[in-house]
Amino acid sequence: MSLILFYCLSILLLFVIAFTFISTLVAKRKPIFVHKLQVEIVKNHLEQIYKLNTFEDSVHQ
């Protein structure tokens, strides 16, 4: 009986540790992604305002 209880508690602890690790990993990566997305939006907006072409656009024309 005590072995089954130990097994269940250890599995529960393993899931709690895994959930904590994954949630902190996602929380750390999210601001970087949002920052890159905001930079890309600003870059595209400035290109549209000043009618600038990126290097790839000028090569493919």
pLDDT of 61 > 70? The answer is no
Contact 34, 28 (CB under 8 A): no
For 14-60, the DSSP string reads HHHHHHHHHHHHHHHHHHHHHHHHHHHHHHHHHHHHHT---HHHHHH
Query: Among 31, 49, 29, which residue's Cα sits nearest to residue 39?
Result: 31
Q: Are 32 and 25 in contact (CB under 8 A)?
A: no
Dump pLDDT digits (tens) for 9-48: 999 999 999 999 998 888 777 677 767 778 888 888 877 7
Domain ranges in the chain are 2-60
In this prediction, residue 38 carries a pLDDT of 80
pTM: 0.48
pLDDT of residue 56: 56
